Amino acid sequence: MSASETVRVGIVGASGYGGLQLVRLLLEHPHVELTYLGGDSSAGKPYSSIYPHLGHRTLPDIAPIEPDLIGDLCDVVFLGLPNGIACDLAPQLLAKGCKVLDLSADYRFQDLATYEAWYGKSRSDGEVAATAVYGLPELHRDAIAKASLIGCPGCYPTASLLALLPLLKQGLIFPETTIIDAKSGTSGGGRQAKTNLLLAEAEGSFSAYGVASHRHTPEIEQTCSALAGHEVRVQFTPHLVPMPRGILSTVYATMRDPGLVRDDLRTIYNAFYRNSPWVRLLPSGTLPQTKWAVGTNACYLAVEVDQRTDRVIVLSAIDNLLKGQSGQAVQCLNIMMGWDETLGLPNMGFYP
């Protein structure tokens, strides 16, 4: 597609945090016209009635989620819906000629039996699901460019896999020794009311959740297994941090060659991500902070080696709502359309 062409884009589920990020990003995108905002309970309302700070921008009112209407108005559709809903809508939109980017878990899995086991919904769209590409550009850039359906990765898998990819691709670790210790801000829980996300509950506290049972575990394992060439099980534990946004993932694994030092691994990481504009390997001895990534589509990485334990430790920081969700979805849109991968995406946040 020519860089001068404008693409008509819609967002289904525009009232959630993911939808809000998409609205903000797409309003600033030079090749996008935002033609549809869809919602269920909010249908018929001005978007500014939900987010008054956008009242100065011209936006469509929230419309009902009707495939015929969406197909008439849109070339590309982002689905910011709860798990288990997108898989009913995406096949209809694809049939109408729309490209679809799904922010839920519905199209992240190659094996729908895994999805059904972890998400508790029976699926009948196997033929459509088989065409979906996992939207991690640093791994599947070429496939994304040719795809019509993208299953956008979860925020924890994005942070964790970007830390792991070079190690797995080069066979530098024993994959089954992988331990992922990750922390997220409260916006990762979405905009709906949840007791553990209330200020009185979260402020001044730090807690784990989903121990040995978090739904992002099989998503991480799917990619690890594909790169390792055999089934891989990882230990993944998420934590809730009392801050609005950001993820810090600390990944541990045992090295196959204990003689490797930090500089060796840094050379490997720099080579692996040499064509990945959103991955930033920090200088030796500098460790990432979530504040650096918040408000951007960047992932900050640091690599360390513990020669005493023969382990590599990789730290990864992202904004869970941008590189971990909506920003990465726009990154995929850019690749699908043949545009520059950085187009319309924030490169630098505000500090402090």
Q: Which positions are catalytic?
A: 155
Contacting residues for 225 by C-beta, under 8 A, at least 6 apart: 231, 232
C-alpha count within 13 angstroms, C-beta hemisphere, residue 14: 33
Q: CA–CA separation, 287 vs 289, rounded Å?
A: 7
Q: CA–CA separation, 334 vs 164, rounded Å?
A: 24
Q: In terms of C-beta distances under 8 Å and separation of at least 24 residues, what long-range contacts does 340-343 make, across chains too?
A: 341/137, 341/277, 341/278, 342/277, 342/278, 342/297, 343/29, 343/30, 343/31
Would you say the C-alpha torsion 6, 278, 103, 142 has a positive or negative sign? positive
Beta bridge partners of 180: 236, 251
Give, as one character, the DSSP assignment of residue 16.
Answer: S
Peptide bond into 157 cis (omega under 30): no
